[in-house]
Amino acid sequence: MNKKVFVSGCYDMLHSGHVAFFEEAAQYGDLYVGIGSDKTIQELKARKTVNTDAERLYMVKALKVVKDAWINRGSGILDFVEEAKQLEPDIFFVNRDGHSPVKEQFCKEYGIRYIVSERVPHSGLPVRSTTALRKECLIPYRIDLAGGWLDQPFVNRHYPGSVITVSIEPDYEFNDRSGMSTSSRKKAIELWHTDIPDGEGEMLARTLFCYENPPGTAYISGSQDALGIVMPGLNRFFYKNNYWPEKIEKMTDPDLLSWIEQRLWLVPLYPRVNDYDVLADVHIDEEGARTLSRASEACWNAILNKDAEGWGRASVASFEVQLKMFPNMITRDVKDTLESYQSQVLGWKLSGAGGGGYLVFVSEAPVRNAIQIRIRRSGF
């Protein structure tokens, strides 16, 4: 008998990348496909699908490499559990951007071989993703490399400092609440629809910041989110007792940005726990803010000098003081995943407090089951 190969995903706007993925998976045996329901995708992506789950099921089942397909009955990132238990597959096959430690752990528990695809397109065809085909995906995400939380006055009033960010091309559709500024990006889509408009970068970022935080907003989103989305390249925002930075430094040198891209790796994490509150039990004082500020300064200098080891040390220093100030940022599951990588990389930080985001690694060598990003270069 052929081995049973199981894959699970959204498969919205079916394209050649999906077909190539199915063909690669089917090389290992008979292919069975679990499809995320409209409700599940709304919960994970905070958006509606282009094609309904009934349409997606029809198209996937029509492919000759697919033995059978269905709509998963569960919810969340493990919406396929009951179907997988019933199928009893030999292999669970995932893309790099679909990898998650919780999926890998599920396979260990049930004796299923876990394989991560290299996402190789069909010969002669371009790499495709659903995200790249959606119009609104032209608006970038952002990730902070060091100094996160210093854009909040309840931190920077203790000691001034900088947040370092890069603007990321939307090659992946990052989950909601993943620490990639998804909330600010959704507001940007409401404002500008398809892409950042022409204009002066800081002024556009102010517009987005004010739109996201109207008068009476209980919790003010940090301005590094709006600035990091709007401004291309590598940026440094210096804060002192205010929501808006006193000084902005921009770096768009293509050689430096390529150097960063080659050493920045993201590993998906477990979903965020319910009723999570990152602001519970915080310990913010002058010493913590000063240490965070100095770590951010060291990170900036190391990157400008293309010193990967220095960047890694500064990233760890920034992350560790964040944990002292905001101990609820990390969970036991995240700690366990981080510990499995620490000996292989130069540095690390966390995107998305409490899970649901990514471990962000600095490494000269490839990191297993990790994805890499492209930094937006064009701009104002």
Residue 228 has pLDDT above 90, yes or no: yes
pLDDT, residue 272, reads 67
Cβ distance 295 to 314 under 8 Å? yes
Cβ distance 91 to 112 under 8 Å? yes
pLDDT, residue 275, reads 66
**Residues in Cβ contact with 168 at an 8 Å cutoff, skipping those fewer than 6 apart:** 140, 141, 142, 143, 180, 373, 374, 375, 376
Q: 125-134, 173-182, 322-331: lowest mean pLDDT where? A: 125-134
pLDDT, residue 133, reads 47
- Residue 239's pLDDT band (cuts 50, 70, 90): very high
pLDDT, residue 143, reads 95
pLDDT tens digit sequence for 88-143? 999 999 988 888 888 999 999 999 999 998 765 555 555 555 555 454 468 999 99
Place of tokens 């299923």: 112
pLDDT, residue 1, reads 72
- Residue 172 has a CB neighbour count (10 Å cut-off) of 23
- Residue 197 has a CB neighbour count (10 Å cut-off) of 12
Distance CA(54)–CA(373), nearest Å, equals: 32
Q: Which of 153, 142, 163 is nearest to 293 (CA)?
A: 163
pLDDT, residue 273, reads 64
pLDDT, residue 126, reads 54
Residue 210 has pLDDT above 70, yes or no: yes
- Residue 174's pLDDT band (cuts 50, 70, 90): confident
Cβ distance 334 to 258 under 8 Å? no
Which residues are registered as beta bridge partners of 164?
A: 146, 236
Mean pLDDT of 204-213: 95
Mean pLDDT of the chain: 90
List the structure tokens of 27.
């090389």
pLDDT, residue 318, reads 97
- Residue 194's pLDDT band (cuts 50, 70, 90): confident
pLDDT, residue 232, reads 96
pLDDT, residue 380, reads 45
48, with CB counted inside 10 A (0-12, 13-18, 19+), is exposed
